[in-house]
Structure 1
Amino acid sequence: MNTKSILADIKNKKLKPVYLLHGEEPYFIDLISDCIEQSILSDAQKGFDQSVLYGKDTDFSTIIAMAKRYPMMGEYQVIIIKEAQNLKWKDDELLLKYLEHPTSSTLLVFAHKYSKFDKRKKSYKAMEKIGLVLESAKLYEDKVSGWILEQLSANHRKIHPHAAALMAEYLGTDLSKVANELEKLQLNVPQDREIGTADIERNIGISKDFNAFELNSALAKRNSFKAFQIVDYFAANPKSNPMPVVIGSLGNYFTKILKYHYLPDKSASSAAKALGVNPYFVKEYELAARNFNRKKTFDVIHIIKDYDLKSKGVQVGHLTETADLLNEMIYKILN
């Protein structure tokens, strides 16, 4: 099941006796456990029939003793164990026995964050059999802009692909942070208007003209004036544009250009899927591939790797300032 269908079932009271929410991405785990915490019981019922425990402060004997009780005020009792990764899972015999005959009026929720649950454990198989198990996987960098588009589309909002890509480039894969910024945008941008790059700059603080995303675009077009203009801006604002982030962005971008060179099918839809980008950007990769042939793209990737090492103090040579390293790297990429 996907997150949307799980949330829909919870709101429609199609409930399971146990929920195991585990994985490396905490956002989806929090989303579902918060939904259960907020929507199953009324405020009056929560004081009697809802308990929130923390893995490091509790044990299975306490959890199971509570789970066997019956609700006092309503139809359900809700028990949520946050940070369940800190429980002593080697002592889960009591849980195994409970799962054989769970209390039908109890919802037992394990929010096991930042790591996958051991699927070899008997308790995993038992929870999977009678309850709901969700593995919350980290979203890859190239999927974040698509996720932004989906989130806004679900709320009947539109965002320009350029603006979505800019957000993804700047905010990275921290979905909680991305979701917070999306909420801010939806509050501040009129509902009948598409969210654009100017809105990103105004509400999130990302420069729409001087960022790693625009640097990639300038290089793809071999616009040296714009590229060096952006690098100068980076040098003047090092905290907002740290060199590791810039180099990481360049590395990802030219790796995709190299991948584009070897695509057997370069149609917009096929290339977009292979590169993990919105079809809107395929023309830019096509242009970049014309401006950087295969050999030059390989050379650029080596240049980026070399300056990544230099930025970390390896084989620095005569240049030590970040601004100088950035300018020299961009000059070599373009020449």
Structure 2
Amino acid sequence: MKDFKSIISDIDQRKFAPIYFLVGEKETFFVDLIAEKIEATVLTEDEKAFNQSILYGKEVTIDDVIGQAKQYPMMSDYRVIIVREAQSLLKNIDTLSSYVEHPQQNTILVFCVKYKKMDGRQKVTKLLKKSAVYFETKPMYDNQVPQWISETLSTSGYTIAPKASEMLVEFLGNNLSHIHKELEKLQNILSKGSKITPELVEENIGISKDFNNFELTKAIGIKDEMKAQRIVAYFAQNSKNHPIILTMTQLNSFFNKLLRYHALKDKSQYVASAALGVNPFFVKDYSFAAQNYSMKKASQAIALIREVDMKSKGVNSNQIPPGDLLKELLVKLMR
């Protein structure tokens, strides 16, 4: 099974495979990207008129797809068939087995399967993994996304400040499609070689650089209670964009990483960065927090966060507003 970068590299070098079977059970961004790359690369605009077909799984059968794939190209080296929403064909996907064993070499057949998982026990799945370009994408963890953002921008000639990456991840999570769209907006207004800063993210995407969970955990870490209370007050007034469940998740993650930081024998920047799964730029935040929260206090903080999380879900509470719960938590954490 090839990875994304090697597949894109082969396409760029015009090393095409007869079949691409792209699966994204939870994360579909790379499925779309590979299909779009093939659509843009293989044929010229003139060739596409006679030699490219975009099919939809809900509208065709496997036999229809195979029938199209077996046609020969007209005045071109290749014929391209892209089957979108191919998850609708999975019930009868074993019918594809005979074609996988003997594909039409002048056809590039692309299946885009989204929000479904292939059954590894099926004959066709085994054949695809053996004979086709079979690509199955898995969702990235949140702590992997900033690196992906940096690498994606680097290939386009841009850089990004670590805090700006964290702002995007906090606001958009690990939804790569949404993040990519926002990055495209920024690239459209910036010249090549520009650095994307927190200020640019705030101005053009609408994410506050001062009032977010990243700044909240930082303020808690250095015990800046006044700043933390200001951020929590802002969250209370903008609860739709700052749900308490997300704040609890971020705080729990912060203190769990702080415990891991305490346990490290080697707390140097790059060793700690690898151990915690954070950008080296942010290791200093854990270093400062470690001075204010011992392992015991960090463990107590996690217990308090879980208690407030349960209250926010209605357990042992009388529907206390989220803002009041956060204010109460800050007092217990920082005093």
TM-score, normalized by the shorter chain, greater than 0.5:
yes
Asked if residue 73 in structure 1 is aligned to residue 108 in structure 2, the reply is no
Asked if residue 253 in structure 1 is aligned to residue 236 in structure 2, the reply is no
Which residue is 2:135 aligned to? 134
Question: % of aligned pairs identical?
Answer: 43
Q: Against the structure 1 CA distance between its residues 93 and 321, is the aligned structure 2 distance closer, same or farther, given a 3 Å change threshold?
A: closer
Which shows bigger deviation, 165-174 or 121-130?
121-130
Q: Following superposition of structure 1 onto structure 2, how do residues 181-196 of structure 1 map, counting pairs within 5 Å?
A: 181-196=182-197
Cα offset, 1:135, TM superposition:
1.4
Which residue is 1:111 aligned to? 112
Which secondary structure does the structure 2 equivalent of 1:92 belong to? helix
Which secondary structure does the structure 2 equivalent of 1:206 belong to? coil
Per-residue CA deviation, residues 29-82 of structure 1 (Å, 9 max, x unaligned), is 000011112221222222222111222222211111111111123111111111
Provide TM-score, normalisation by structure 1.
0.95
Asked if residue 323 in structure 1 is aligned to residue 323 in structure 2, the reply is yes
1:49–1:71 CA contact under 8 A, matched in 2: yes
Which secondary structure does the structure 2 equivalent of 1:112 belong to? strand
2:100–2:132 CA contact under 8 A, matched in 1: no
- The CA distance in 2 between the partners of 1:307 and 1:94, in whole Å, is 53
Which shows bigger deviation, 248-257 or 220-229?
248-257
- For this pair of structures, how many residues does the alignment match? 333
Letter of the structure 1 residue corresponding to residue 83 of structure 2:
I
1:16–1:130 CA contact under 8 A, matched in 2: no
- The CA distance in 2 between the partners of 1:114 and 1:166, in whole Å, is 27
- The CA distance in 1 between the partners of 2:94 and 2:33, in whole Å, is 29
> Which structure 2 residue ranges, 5 or more long, are not aligned?
none
2:94–2:122 CA contact under 8 A, matched in 1: no
Letter of the structure 1 residue corresponding to residue 16 of structure 2:
L
Provide TM-score, normalisation by structure 2.
0.95
Q: Against the structure 1 CA distance between its residues 206 and 86, is the aligned structure 2 distance closer, same or farther, given a 3 Å change threshold?
A: same
Cα offset, 1:180, TM superposition:
0.8
- The CA distance in 1 between the partners of 2:159 and 2:90, in whole Å, is 46
Which shows bigger deviation, 237-246 or 209-218?
237-246
Asked if residue 156 in structure 1 is aligned to residue 144 in structure 2, the reply is no
Aligned to 1:57, which of 56, 59, 62? 59
Per-residue CA deviation, residues 125-156 of structure 1 (Å, 9 max, x unaligned), is 21222221111110001111111111111222
Per-residue CA deviation, residues 251-305 of structure 1 (Å, 9 max, x unaligned), is 1111111121222332211111111111111111111122111111111111111
Per-residue CA deviation, residues 209-254 of structure 1 (Å, 9 max, x unaligned), is 1111100110111110100011111111112211112111111111
User: Root-mean-square deviation (CA), in Å?
Assistant: 1.6
Per-residue CA deviation, residues 152-200 of structure 1 (Å, 9 max, x unaligned), is 1122211111211222122110000111111111222343432211111
Letter of the structure 2 residue corresponding to residue 189 of structure 1:
L
The runs of at least 4 consecutive aligned structure 1 residues that moved more than 6 Å come to none
